[in-house]
Amino acid sequence: MSPSDPISDTELRQRLTPEQYHIAREGGTEPAFTGAYHAHKASGRYRCVVCGAELFRSSEKFDSGSGWPSYTAPTIPDAVSEHRDSSHGMLRTEVRCARCQSHLGHVFPDGPEPTGLRFCINSAVLDFEPD
């Protein structure tokens, strides 16, 4: 899938679980410590559940204690896009898949070196591909 070849809303509702759809298309969030990948340790790549774009690698994953999978950086900087989010009375930076614009989570400036960033991502919008 490319940005010029979007998946229809009807197709997404049929293909995704209600939770995946809610997060990817409505900006929802899964409860902390419930996602399949928050404590996941296998080596591989994490891809967008909607379009299959590679977003993160296990080598960038760390345990932030937040209850969501956390990464220091995306696979390549252009894999995700950042957007101002002032919902819920907070000012945050939302992270979306750059290819299909699905909501992934948020990025915070409190991660470990070398980037100092914590990409806090919902498991439900990720697919894992082992090495």
pLDDT tens-place string over residues 94-130: 999 999 999 999 999 999 999 999 999 999 999 999 9
Residue 4 has a pLDDT of: 46
Residue 2 has a pLDDT of: 44
- pLDDT at residue 13 greater than cutoff 60: yes
Name the residue among 122, 104, 117, 113 with its Cα closest to residue 73. 117
Residue 127 has a pLDDT of: 98
Residue 88 has a pLDDT of: 73
Write down the domain spans for the chain. Answer: 9-130
Coil, strand or helix: which one is 123? Answer: helix
CATH value of 9-130 in 2.170.150.20, 3.30.1360.70, 3.40.50.1980, 3.30.930.10: 2.170.150.20
Q: Distance between CA atoms of 113 and 122, rounded to whole angstroms?
A: 22
Enumerate the β-bridge partners of residue 121.
Answer: 105
Residue 82 has a pLDDT of: 95
Enumerate the β-bridge partners of residue 117.
Answer: none
Burial of 69 (0-12, 13-18, 19+ CB in 10 A): buried
Mean pLDDT in residue range 22-39 = 96
**What is the reported pTM?**
0.91
Name the residue among 110, 106, 112, 97 with its Cα closest to residue 69. 106
Of these residues, 48, 97, 100, 120, which one is catalytic? 120
Residue 111 has a pLDDT of: 96
- First-to-last C-alpha distance (Å) of the chain: 23
Q: Are strands 126-130 and 92-97 parallel, antiparallel or unpaired?
A: unpaired
pLDDT tens-place string over residues 37-87: 999 999 999 999 999 999 999 999 999 999 999 999 999 999 999 999 877
Q: Does residue 51 carry a catalytic annotation? A: no
